[in-house]
Copies of this chain bind each other. A is one copy, B any other.
Amino acid sequence: MTITTISSATQEVKIGFDQPFVIIGERINPTGRKILAEEMKVGDYSRVKADALAQVAAGAQMLDVNAGIPLADEPRILAEAIQLVQSITDVPLSIDSSIIEALEAGLSVYQGKALVNSVTGEDEVLERVLPLVAKYGASVVAISNDETGISEDPNERFEVAKKIVERASDYGIHYSDVVVDPLVMPIGAINTAGLQVMHVVRRLREELKVNTTCGASNVSFGLPNRNGINSAFLTMAMGAGMTSAITSPLHPEVMAAVRGGDVMMGHDPNCANWIKAYREPAAEGEGRARGGRRRRG
């Protein structure tokens, strides 16, 4: 029963086969968000702050922080954003960059044990990112593509993941600290994308015994009612053994799918989380009437 533990200074999150599914909030990411990018570039983190608080309130157990802004000082901005987010929330973070200096800047200010997002199977990337992960005692997201790109054959993606796990081990990083992203394709273009992911997730769990994550929203790219597709994908992926996802917790139907998935997997004892989230509040009038009767009694 592999468990990946990620922490902040005050909170621990466990990603694992027997744990509730972990939602890593994806919103703090300037890619495709022009206003956020402009603000972060000039050191205005008000929107980062709002996004952090909203995602935690909606049920994210972790937050991803990305500062990939063209022509900006990404290492400085990423480090500042991480410090800001850690000053206002207790949830552990995933430090998201493709630039090694930005990952190092983020890790150097991070309080706790971070999730580094990400390393790929390319040799050059492995050689730069894994020593950093080892140095800071972090965990790492392993994306299953390499020099040859993203294979459409899920078994080739499995082999890339296996290579990363083995290489991580050479650097002293235990497989429980490698969270594999099997890569989710847009199902509107590749109709077998769902079956592919379920197949790889089962193999990753049974053979490599690693935890898994994914950028879930990619599956619905180009389709209407994206939250409906994302919900079905997440529930079915959980059934196949997926243990976390980097996605937005701000859509109630997606959170219901994940909470319902936890209930189905037996990861919500006595359905306590479900009942807490969806219990109908007592009607206000009824409450007042009871108070009245008590006062009269």
Contacts and interface: CB of A to CB of B under 8 A. Distances in A.
Contacts of A224: 274-275, 278-280
Number of copies of chain A assembled together: 2
A84 interface: no
Nearest to A190: B266
Interface stretch (A26-34, A35-43, A48-56, A225-233): A225-233
A241 to B, nearest CB: 11
Contacts of A275: 223-224
B261 A195 contact: no
Nearest to A233: B264
A256 B195 contact: no
A187 interface: yes
A247 to B, nearest CB: 15
Given A194-B265, A266-B191, A266-B195, A274 B239 contact: no
Given A187-B263, A233-B264, A263-B187, A278 B192 contact: no
Contacts of A198: 239, 264
A9 interface: no
A191 B271 contact: yes
Given A195-B266, A270-B191, A274-B225, A260 B239 contact: no
Contacts of A223: 271, 274-275, 278
Interface string A268-286: 1111001101111000000
10 contacts: A192-B266, A194-B266, A223-B278, A232-B260, A232-B261, A233-B260, A235-B235, A239-B240, A253-B253, A253-B256
